[in-house]
Amino acid sequence: MVDFNRFTLANGLRVLVHEDDTTPMAVLNILYDVGARDEEAGRTGFAHLFEHLMFGGSVNIPSYDEPLQRVGGENNAFTSNDITNYYITLPAVNLETAFWLESDRMLSLAFSEKSLETQRNVVCEEFKQRYLNQPYGDVWLKLRPLAYTTHPYRWATIGQDLAQIENAKMEDVKAFFKKHYNPQNAIMVVGGNVKTEAVKALAEKWFAAIPAGEKYLRNLPAEPAQTEERKERLTADVPLNAIYMAFKMPARKDRDYQVYDLMSDVLSQGQSSRLYNSLLKEQQLFSDIHAYITSSIDEGLFVIEGKLVEGVSMDTAENAIWKELDKLTEEPVTDEEITKVKNKSESIMVFAEMNLLDKAMNLAYYELLGDAAGLNTEIDKYLAVSPQRILQAAKKTFVKTQCSTLYYLTVKDA
């Protein structure tokens, strides 16, 4: 159970406070309700680029890291297709430094051509290293537009291609900041050795004067139902052939989200899972195989990916995967299987409650979903999943006309 208090400033900034006097530390986490799905086709990668720009200094504080390091603090951030999240951890006695830094860059981020050029180069280099020059690195640049035809999930967080980042202009950056980086589009969580009243006083002091900005109303195009099988072949200088199969799954707030999460665990969590036992251990078709979900706020993906053992044909490997999926559609999972994956989910959530930063980030995310209190009831949704619900979800999902398959071939097997 993660206890918290909540208040909202007049400018719309939502603030959650988790008091924990067992630690001398504090964390300030700010989640901005903006991700790659809020970009436009042809002008993508901005949410991630902006994450980098936020560390380029503000009008009043040229160096973001220097004052934080002087008070023993650390910081980082991440961007996804749905959110952008920034966090600071530091000794609780120095909490006001975090408020000062975060409020100043929310109010007056420095927009300089030098900073834009520097961060644009950093992101371009990241694009090259992680997505273009790494084996299998461009999988999501190919799989997303194969699985999605309309929704902005069709591009990766890094962007559709390198040129769109290289061509980012200052006016584009300023417009993005004005649209998304304002109090009413943010959720702040403060946790650790803090008191709610003191946090409220700091929030009023440092954030209350920031203008609320215009409310961003998200109106994204819905992804049409997939009615035919999609396939694409890709050849690259990689050591092993690989296969990636993607199926649509319900959005994060759908009542069946937990069903799909547990179903992916039945297939590939641990060495007693179905895919590992059958396809890797017994039949020795794969050197590596996994099933997982994207956990997207809108309609997400249920993905199965595997690297084939050398000499195994793609048809053989693909047919073997379908046989395992067909089993899920034909008979319920066993009580032993569902108990195992439920226990694992419960332990993961318990361990997350032991880490101050994890608690802060989770509170912010569940508040974005509708209510931070949902963090404390999430495990009940997992425990309520029955074998019959998994069977129904499998029947509805694992259909060939709803599958998008990417075949990743080595040069010699192309």
List, for residues 91-135, the tens digit of each pLDDT value.
Answer: 999 999 999 999 999 988 878 888 888 889 999 999 999 999 999
Averaged over 366-390, what is the pLDDT? Answer: 97
Same domain, 107 and 247: no
Question: Which residues, listed in sequence order, are joined to residue 18 by a DSSP beta bridge?
Answer: 191
Q: Is residue 215 part of a domain?
A: no
Q: What is the DSSP letter of 240?
A: S
Please give the share of the chain, as a percent, with pLDDT higher than 90.
Answer: 82
- Give the model's pLDDT for residue 55: 86
Structure tokens that stand for 60 in this block: 């009043």
**Residue 217 forms part of a structural domain:** no
For 120, the token pair is: 């644009």
Position 146 confidence tier, pLDDT thresholds 50, 70, 90:
very high
Residue 345 has pLDDT above 80, yes or no: yes
Q: Given this model, what pLDDT does residue 368 score? A: 98
Range of the domain at 200: 5-208
Select from 142, 174, 208 the last residue of a domain. 208
> Higher-confidence residue: 110 or 330?
330
The domain total for the chain is 2
Q: In terms of domains, do 69 and 188 share one?
A: yes
Instruction: Kindly state the percentage of the chain with pLDDT values over 70.
Output: 100
Residue 249 has pLDDT above 80, yes or no: yes
3-state secondary structure the chain: CCCCEEEECCCCCEEEEEECCCCCEEEEEEEECCCHHHCECCECCHHHHHHHHCCCCECCCCCCHHHHHHCCCEEEEEECCCCEEEEEEEEHHHHHHHHHHHHHHHHHECCCHHHHHHHHHHHHHHHHHHHHCCCCCCHHHHHHHHHCCCCHHHCCCCCCCHHHHHCCCHHHHHHHHHHHCCHHHEEEEEEECCCHHHHHHHHHHHHCCCCCCCCCCCCCCCCCCCCCCEEEEEEECCCCCEEEEEEEECCCCCCCHHHHHHHHHHHHCCCCCHHHHHHHHHCCCEEEEEEEECCCCCCEEEEEEEEECCCCCHHHHHHHHHHHHHHHHHCCCCHHHHHHHHHHHHHHHHHHCCCHHHHHHHHHHHHHHCCHHHHHCHHHHHHCCCHHHHHHHHHHHCCHHHEEEEEEEEHHHC
Would the pLDDT of 41 be above 70? yes
Please give the pLDDT value at position 414. 65
Cβ atoms of residues 227 and 59 within 8 Å: no
**How many C-beta atoms lie closer than 10 Å to residue 156's C-beta?**
22
Same domain assignment for residues 241 and 200: no
Which pLDDT band holds residue 26 (cuts at 50, 70, 90)?
Answer: very high
* 32 and 179 in a common domain: yes
> 0.85 cut: is pTM over it?
yes
pLDDT at 259: 98
pLDDT digits (tens, 9 = 90+) for 266-301: 999 988 899 999 999 999 999 999 999 999 999 999
Highest mean pLDDT among 45-49, 179-183, 203-207: 203-207
Query: How do residues 183-233 score in pLDDT, each as one tens digit?
Result: 999 999 999 999 999 999 999 999 999 999 888 889 999 999 999 999 999
- Among 178, 208, 238, the domain boundary falls at 208
Is the model's pLDDT at 413 over the cut of 80?
A: no
